[in-house]
Amino acid sequence: MTDRTLYYTHNINPRVAVAVARHLKSPVELVRYEPMGADREAFLPLNPNSLAPLLVEDGKPLWEADAIALRLARLDGGDFWPDEHAVEMMMWVSWSAHHFTNAGAALVWHNVTARSFMGDPEPGVVEDAANDFNRFAAILDLTLAGRDWLVGNKLSYADFRVASSLPYAERGKIPLGAYANIRAWHDRLNQIDAWSDPFEGIA
């Protein structure tokens, strides 16, 4: 039997990977670790990025949340990453990384993470990040005016991926107020236990 472990922390990208694993009931052991702290040296050969998530299968490492999600979806064999919509899936995954989640994560970084060790962020920096977020949020909101889910009229990894920063919206001061369709879509996602509380019962 394959020995399969998903290493995670509670931040944006590993949260998505854990949510996928729990949603798909993947045959993985979930282990919390500190890739930039106590576990850094030991894990360097497996992940030279010193980041989470990390999937290790019989000693073979796979990093990047999206690659891990694809691997878990293939293992599952279902349609969480539907082959017939592979190109559209890639569009949303890429758009999330480069635009929407990038902008949301910047707000979380300035308003939560960096604030904890650098103090209050420069207002101009936060304003730029918010403008960036608003630019892409308007596009997502318009898209979601006409559909419940992003790809193929069904929940897929595209929804998990594009929503990755939203569980941190309150703490990160991500401005969702003007985007009723995004909020309704995220409410739908939050009906899924694996999304609303991926760390339930684990460290």
Which residues of the chain form contacts with ligand GSH (CB under 6 A)? 9, 11-14, 35-36, 51-53, 64-65
Contact predicate 105/12, CB 8 Å: yes
Least Å distance, CB 161 to ligand GSH, is 9
Query: What DSSP letter does each residue of 33-53 carry, written as one string?
Result: --TTTTTHHHHTTT-TT--S-
**What is the token pair recorded at 13?**
């990208």
| Closer to ligand GSH by Cβ: residue 156 or 164 | 164
* Cα–Cα dist 123/108, whole Å: 14
| Closer to ligand GSH by Cβ: residue 64 or 141 | 64
For residue 62, give the amino acid letter.
Answer: L
Phi, psi of 104 (to 5 degrees): -65, -40
Least Å distance, CB 143 to ligand GSH, is 22
For residue 71, give the amino acid letter.
Answer: R
Least Å distance, CB 105 to ligand GSH, is 7
| Closer to ligand GSH by Cβ: residue 80 or 141 | 80
Least Å distance, CB 164 to ligand GSH, is 9
Least Å distance, CB 108 to ligand GSH, is 9
CB atoms within 10 A of CB 60: 10
| Closer to ligand GSH by Cβ: residue 45 or 123 | 45
Tokens 């009723």, residue located: 180
Let me know the angle formed at the C-alpha of 164 by 121 and 143, rounded to the nearest 5 degrees: 105
